[in-house]
Amino acid sequence: MGCSVSENGVLGEDHGGLVAIVRGALEQFSGLTQLEPVAATGVRREKDGWSVLVDVVELERVPTTTSVMATYRVDVDTAGDLCGYERLRRFSRGSVDQS
């Protein structure tokens, strides 16, 4: 069983609907950009669909802790179709965000 976020931000049971939205967003993003998603690091409901944060490796380096990573925001509509994406930030794989 999965969870979903209602329009008012309340979590509820959804039998995998949110999981399917995220998987679909990752597959479409990968197919369009040829970048392999490492993780979905966030998801939120928008007025006209969903916004998914996706981390990818943009430049593989040795050692891997020096690889260049990026976080993209991937937007999908209510049907789950990709309607836009943008890179939000780039960082080294071994780095930690400042608190």
Q: Element (H or E) spanning 29, and its range? A: helix 17-33
The letter for the amino acid at 68 is V
Residue with the bigger pLDDT between 87 and 3: it is 87
pLDDT score at 96: 84
- CB of 42 closer than 8 Å to CB of 26: no
pLDDT score at 14: 52
Q: Which residues contact 36 (CB under 8 A, 6 or more apart)?
A: 30, 56, 57
pLDDT tens across 68-85, in order?
A: 999 999 999 999 999 999
pLDDT tier at 3, thresholds 50, 70, 90 = very low
Domain ranges of the chain: 3-92
pTM for the full model?
0.81
- Going 58 to 34 to 52 to 18, the CA torsion angle's sign is negative
pLDDT tens across 28-64, in order?
A: 999 999 999 999 999 999 999 999 999 999 999 999 9
